[in-house]
Structure 1
Amino acid sequence: MKPARGMTPGDADRLVAALVTGRGPSPDEQVTVWFAELAVGEREITVDQTNRSVVVGDRAIVKWLLHTDAAGHPAPDRLQALLSAGFTAMPRPWGLLHQVDPTSGALKLLAIVTEYLPGTQDGWEWAVADVRAHVRGAESGALTAPIAIGVLTAQMHVALSCTGITDATEAQAQTWYAAAGHDLAEAIALVDGDEGARLRPLESRIKESLHPISECVGTPLIDVHGDLHVGQILRTNAPYAYYVTDFDGNPLQTAVERMQRQPAARDVAGMLASLDHVGRVVIHRTPDVDEAKVVSWIAMAQEIFLDNYREELQRANAEHLLDERLLGPFQVQQECREFVYSVKHLPHWRYVPDAALPALLDRLEAPA
């Protein structure tokens, strides 16, 4: 049997060379080139479980897509839109490799090539370390990183909105509301043990918090990142610079769903939830930590992120992109998804939504 594309040693080297020439490595393949330079020498990154990622010459990363869909992939259009708008807070895209169907001429995405940023860490490393240092009284980026991420997220949304803005229809609102209800029902059905015993009494409160999703007819829709959380934010060594990565969308959705426009609030809510999750990880993994200080940081970080996101939208005259009504409901839905994900893929993770969801509901229900 012929090995899957990208599994043979030298495939990544050959793809980078093909970008330089502008010709596909094989007759039935074609490349899209945004940037290219010669680089050789492969080194696999083993932490990526969804795809196979290979560093080439410490200059580029080739991400081979192990699970493709005939319906398409969101990354090519997202990357092109960001490049066209002059957005630079991402690893520089080098190019794409598509396979061409000999009969229909249809393209299937095989690989994405981007700049390799040596020495960077993703947010599950740098943010956790920052918060640990912060609550111990040491200097860190715990309260400055949310500023940069808020600005970056707003600039990304403004850039993505350049491809067009549409309004949510009644059918779309009801589809999203039904999906949120399904996520809740699945979480209730799957989560067992002490966490399940704490989750089930929250069901009616969760349902009530999700209801605004059904009323979002007319909210602006744009192309979004689709899976935005701190793990998608790379940070360089000091002086810190931040870059957003991975425009594949939510891996648990179908290709059609991932390519659809969404409210900008979907990404914003995802980042708000993940800032909370950073705090929960610190509490869980740090002996003798002052839990109250971490909880206080969560609230401050979320406020700083959101304030700077709003301010950057205002600077771009794009305040209309954010529907504030959806932030709470989408965060609640995200916590339900975290429960489901933990049961299916990462059992030890369930402590995160177990702590985050009740606190979120209390905040949403508190008097204004």
Structure 2
Amino acid sequence: MSETSRSQARVHHESSDGAPAPVAATRGTGARRTAPGVGELVQAALPLIAGWLPGQRWYAGKGRAITGLTPVLATPLQVGDPALLHLLLRVDHSGGSDTYQLLLGSRSGQPAGLPPATVLGRLTGGPYDGAVLYDALHDQELTGRLLEHLATGDRFGSLSFRRTPGPQLPSNLPGRASTAEQSNSSVIYGTAFILKLFRRISPGTNPDLELSLALSRAGSTRIPRVAAWFESRLERSEPATLGLLQRYLPDAEDGWELALDQVGRLKGDPAPGNFAIEAHRLGRATAEVHRVLARSMPVDRLDRHQLSLLADAMGDRLDSAVTAVPGLLRYRTALRTAFRALTADHLDSVPVQRIHGDLHLGQAMRTPHGWVLLDFEGEPAKPVAERRRPQPALRDVAAMLRSFDYAAAHLLAGAPHNPELAHLAAAWAARNRTAYCAGYSAGGGADPNASPELMRALEIDKAVYEVVYEARHRPNWLPIPLAAINRLALTV
């Protein structure tokens, strides 16, 4: 499996005689410290965190000055040398505030093989003076402690580790941090489990846990089975999901990498044709997941007034995108016309349900038993409440169609103005888009071709999101969604 895709008031640590000793968590900066050195460790760590945090791929506040760091909850999972600290940290910045999850390790000497970018620096003062502070996900001994807590269902004050019914989880597997750049962090335990740690934390159940549990309990084979998770209460709110442990798929192949491999072969063989078969199978798998979610979770229908509100929301997102990327201005009239088509007379109502919310080829794995979907948290930049809202199932289909366009665009890398390659790329994307939609319909999903206005609006909405994302994070990729905007505007 590619690494692309892929916690009652007691904390146990070993006392001098080897017996587990209770240690209470520390909440807030003014809380009474009951674990030796924990308050000093947190305070000594804050200046180092302030310098290290903005450079992390998952940090959402890039370009905004940090104005304050406030520990929300600090829980020692292991004290001594090495120490392991679980920290929920509120970060105030010029654009507002966010809460992040950190797992910090400290040792008197730097562990061998620790990537330089994971080291925050050396602590000064207090009982940890001179110790190296680092991202604990890169320390196999400390990541092993996390697996132990998940296996035994420990509770650390408001920090709770929970596991699903079934065989006892192993607690002695080596854990290695995934090297994939993403909005969260992952630890892979042997060839059995993968633990996703959500970095940007919001109150409430993360959709990835909620939907993965629903699919697991329904017996779906289209997702990795949920084994455990951990969570914590933030003040008086409902528990916030912090991490999710699922079965690892060691024999799986990443859908994005498979697609790029097929695209790369086009230069030597204009019609390899193999991936269209996989695209059809992936469409069937997507429909199967949607059908299970529709049986397991609430469903509804959007009436004409609600469709009008949906179109207005798409228009508002477009206006914001035009402000961020003025190059979209020339398309605004046509795109708004596409959104207004959602209020046509024949669209009396549209079914909505829980969906994946951020589906693309990198969220799909081909296993020996068929396609499996991953990462049901939706678009991480959106509030959790919005991501948990029922939506048209075809939104996932539209998102996957955009992913085929992204894969095809890699054929033009280094030769963006080659007409022959551009034709091959467009033909490859069209062939696989058609195959995926056919597979989705054959798998029991609504026929995308029967709802052209809805599909066009949903695909435009996704492409507008991509334009803003690429402009902020990957400017070299901006031509990909802009090309889609141009194509979709011409169909209005």
> Match of 2:330?
201
> Match of 2:207?
74
Distance 1:139 1:182, change over 3 A: same
Query: What's the C-alpha RMSD, in Å, of the aligned pairs?
Result: 2.7
Equivalent residues in 2 for 1:113-128, closer than 5 Å: 113-118=245-250, 120-128=252-260
1:173 matches 2:307: yes
Offset from partner CA, 1:213-236 (integer Å, 9 cap, x none): 345562111110000111111234
The Cα of 1:27 is off from its aligned counterpart by 4.1
Q: Find the structure with the greater CA-based Rg.
A: 2
1:256 matches 2:256: no
**C-alpha separation in 1, matches of 2:455 and 2:280:** 18
1:107 matches 2:236: no
Amino acid of the residue matched to residue 366 of structure 2?
A: R
1:144 matches 2:144: no
The Cα of 1:294 is off from its aligned counterpart by 1.7
Does the CA contact (< 8 Å) of 1:79 and 1:93 recur in 2? yes
**C-alpha separation in 2, matches of 1:312 and 1:325:** 22
Given candidates 374, 377, 400, the residue that maps to 1:271 is: 400
SS at the partner of 2:156? coil
Given candidates 24, 28, 34, the residue that maps to 2:154 is: 24
> Match of 1:356?
484
Distance 1:251 1:214, change over 3 A: farther
Given candidates 425, 446, 452, the residue that maps to 1:294 is: 425
Does the CA contact (< 8 Å) of 1:335 and 1:353 recur in 2? yes
Write 1 or 2 for the structure with the bigger share of helix. 1
Distance 1:86 1:119, change over 3 A: closer
TM-score if structure 2 supplies the norm length? 0.65
1:133 matches 2:262: no
The Cα of 1:175 is off from its aligned counterpart by 3.5
> Match of 1:154?
287
| Structure 2 unaligned spans of 5+ | 1-41, 43-73, 75-84, 88-101, 106-135
1:89 matches 2:249: no
**C-alpha separation in 2, matches of 1:100 and 1:252:** 21
> Match of 1:13?
144
SS at the partner of 1:143? helix
Distance 1:190 1:84, change over 3 A: same
- Give the length in aligned residue pairs: 351
**C-alpha separation in 2, matches of 1:266 and 1:133:** 30
The Cα of 1:149 is off from its aligned counterpart by 1.0
The Cα of 1:135 is off from its aligned counterpart by 5.1
Distance 1:160 1:240, change over 3 A: closer
Does the CA contact (< 8 Å) of 1:12 and 1:62 recur in 2? no
Deviates more, 1:58-67 or 1:219-228: 58-67
Offset from partner CA, 1:58-93 (integer Å, 9 cap, x none): 321111111111144212221122113221122222
TM-score if structure 1 supplies the norm length? 0.86
SS at the partner of 1:144? helix
Equivalent residues in 2 for 1:289-368, closer than 5 Å: 290-313=421-444, 325-362=453-490, 364-365=491-492
**C-alpha separation in 1, matches of 2:209 and 2:409:** 34
The Cα of 1:308 is off from its aligned counterpart by 1.1
Equivalent residues in 2 for 1:31-70, closer than 5 Å: 31-34=162-165, 37-38=169-170, 39-70=172-203
Does the CA contact (< 8 Å) of 1:34 and 1:95 recur in 2? no
Offset from partner CA, 1:174-231 (integer Å, 9 cap, x none): 4422221122222322225xxx2xx432221111112233455621111100001111
1:212 matches 2:330: no
Does the CA contact (< 8 Å) of 2:338 and 2:453 recur in 1? no
**C-alpha separation in 1, matches of 2:154 and 2:447:** 42
Does the CA contact (< 8 Å) of 2:230 and 2:241 recur in 1? yes
Distance 1:164 1:58, change over 3 A: same
**C-alpha separation in 1, matches of 2:393 and 2:237:** 34
SS at the partner of 1:290? helix
Does the CA contact (< 8 Å) of 1:265 and 1:323 recur in 2? no
Does the CA contact (< 8 Å) of 2:184 and 2:196 recur in 1? yes
**C-alpha separation in 1, matches of 2:154 and 2:305:** 41
| Structure 1 unaligned spans of 5+ | none
- State, as a whole percentage, how many aligned pairs show the same letter: 25
Q: Name the structure, 1 or 2, with higher relative contact order (CA <8 Å, separation 6+).
A: 1
Does the CA contact (< 8 Å) of 1:264 and 1:323 recur in 2? no
1:230 matches 2:354: no
Amino acid of the residue matched to residue 264 of structure 1?
A: A
Deviates more, 1:145-154 or 1:31-40: 31-40
Does the CA contact (< 8 Å) of 1:277 and 1:352 recur in 2? yes
Distance 1:147 1:135, change over 3 A: farther
SS at the partner of 2:201? coil
**C-alpha separation in 2, matches of 1:172 and 1:95:** 37
**C-alpha separation in 1, matches of 2:246 and 2:354:** 20
SS at the partner of 2:200? coil
